[in-house]
Amino acid sequence: MQRVAVLTEPDHVVLEDREVPEPGPGQVQVHVRAVSVCGSDVHYYDHGRIGGFVMHAPLVLGHETSGVVSAVGPGVTAPAVGTRVAVEPQAECGRCAQCRQGRYHLCPDIAFFATPPVDGSFAEYVVVPAHRAHPVPDALSDEAAALIEPLSVALHAAAKADIGPGSRVLVSGAGPVGLLCLQVALARGASAVVVTDVMALRREAAAEYGATATVDANDHETGLAAVGRTLGQADVVLECTGVQPAIDLAVAATAPAATVVLVGTGATVTLPLDVVQARELVVKGTFRYAHVYPAAIDLAASGRIRLDDMVTSHHPLEDAVGALLAARRDPMALKAVVHPSRS
């Protein structure tokens, strides 16, 4: 038997004993060592839903996961038992049009950890397709290996934006994904990366992670003028908040022919069509990631991305709620990590 933290309804998590899942053909069992909390986990805890993804039954949260391969199913030759891995938390059908064209993250039948009705990794053991258990080097801690998942989000967004040497980048929002987008933009050669946020402490964090400048986004006109002074006009916007005022500021700060990538998830928002058309902006949505885990692991192992520094608290499985509430209790909290296998 194993212990599992289960969200039975909003604001209510219980520990349960469940059978340890056994790997089937092409699968591996992973003994979970670290699970970092994502904003989506917090949304499900608070509201039981994110947009059209709605809980209709108890749900195990957690999808930013690392661990050690503890068993393999029939036909699996790698990774071997004992291999430390970062878990890419999705299993696609492999047959649909999106999968055949390489966009497996858009598979209509994808099973993604902690997205109803698929359970996540607030558990001692999980089972995943073998090709979604990516070996990690000893240079990466268990916590950093769990953070390969949000780093993959940032890498996917930066690739969508085609950030390269000389790019002038505006990152909207200095939460964990925004700070990872900042670091990835710098790693890809951006000449300047300006980060906006409404919270002074978040802006201080962005400066610590290498932002060329930070801008107070509380007032549109003042913020826009500050972006202009520090960046000029943005060639790329990575919008990581999903909040209307932040989107308004980010779009207003663009250069002609700029690319705006919408990374943050939010409610329905509007875009200024006159600005989009007059500047011929390219507006792109982004959803999770595909084909980036190996690159994310290599980048993190190179030391160019600071992942361990983003971990601000550690929690046993019994304190999963404490991990989910960490950001609410501490405005400087970035990544709370749950360790299911620790007592």
- Do the Cβ atoms of 193 and 165 come closer than 8 Å? no
CA geometry: angle 130, 302, 208, nearest 5 deg? 115
Q: What are phi and psi for residue 241, nearest 5 degrees?
A: -110, -35
Summarize the confidence of residues 173-177 as an average pLDDT.
Answer: 96
Is the pLDDT at 146 greater than 70? The verdict is yes
Q: Which residues contact 203 (CB under 8 A, 6 or more apart)?
A: 174, 195, 197, 214, 215, 216
- Do the Cβ atoms of 146 and 122 come closer than 8 Å? no
Cβ neighbours around 21 below 10 Å, total? 17
Rounded Cα gap, residues 259 and 269, in angstroms: 18
Dig out the tokens for 40 from the structure: 């989506």
306-338, pLDDT tens digit by residue?
999 999 999 999 999 999 999 888 888 999 999
For the chain, helix, strand, coil in percent to 5 are 30, 30, 40
88-126, pLDDT tens digit by residue?
999 999 999 999 999 999 999 999 999 999 999 999 999
Burial of 136 per CB tally in 10 Å (0-12, 13-18, 19+):
buried
Summarize the confidence of residues 247-264 as an average pLDDT.
Answer: 97
The one-letter amino acid code at 211 reads A
pLDDT of 138: 95
Dig out the tokens for 14 from the structure: 């219980």
Is the pLDDT at 343 greater than 60? The verdict is no
pTM for the full predicted model = 0.96
Q: What is the band of 342 on the pLDDT scale with cuts at 50, 70, 90?
A: low
